[in-house]
Chains A and B, each alone.
Chain A
């Protein structure tokens, strides 16, 4: 079963990389960009077919390693 975990910085946390990308988009003339925040995407192949179990396993994965919950939020799509 395929799952996707998206880890993003919490609101209010300084994101220098997002700021740099935002500046680059503006200098390229891309219009309508208010702001950019950079995050991470993990595509995970999960064993078994139980979506709820997979979600619980991936929650543990996020809490233990994939996200630093001091500054990051995570979202799991199974």
Chain B
């Protein structure tokens, strides 16, 4: 598994992401700059980390979504290559057109930073095979604009084609009410592209890989990716 992490001006979770990838794959990922033109030969996985690319100016992820390196990321995804975007990375995937819809300001207008339960909607993808279907995991969220929104036709397509990856839920897996931290449509925390090779999610699995910080529920995502290529 050869991974590459793209660093934008204002990214701040690239170190955590690199550590999670190295722990799972045994290899340090390549760190690429937003102005680079190419991915290293043989790259299996491209990761867009969390942070505040370009200071969230204009719209979250809007400027990063049009950065030079994104043409190479789009080509990689079109070839079936794996792409993971977490938090600001998810916002960048939506703004770049790699995933539909977009992330709006949290419905309650507050920045939310807390532990959050998620339900794994399917475990037959490159990202989730080390989880169980329907498993409830606990990871952390830290975002002000994680309110997933798309038009009704897009939501119906995502649901109909099984492209919802994770939903916000309570500890017992129940959906709705206070278990939804930001007002996302259908409690959506993460979605796949049509071919399920691109995943965007708001929570931070890369921060829950070490028992020292209170949990390791994020590990299985990186172990799934390590065994996928």
Contact = CB atoms under 8 A, between A and B. Distances in A.
A70 B102 contact: yes
Contacts of A68: 59, 62, 95, 102
A50 B134 CA distance: 60
Interface in B83-108: 95, 101-102, 104-108
Interface stretch (A14-22, A29-37, A51-59): A14-22
**Among B59, B62, B151: residue with most chain A CB under 10 A:** B59
Interface string B55-71: 00011001100100000
B109 A65 contact: no
Interface residues of B, number: 19
A64 B59 contact: no
Per DSSP, chain A at the interface is helix
A1 interface: no
Contacts of B95: 68
A66 interface: yes
B16 interface: no
Interface in B146-189: 147, 149-151, 183
Interface of A: 13-14, 16-17, 20, 64-66, 68, 70-71
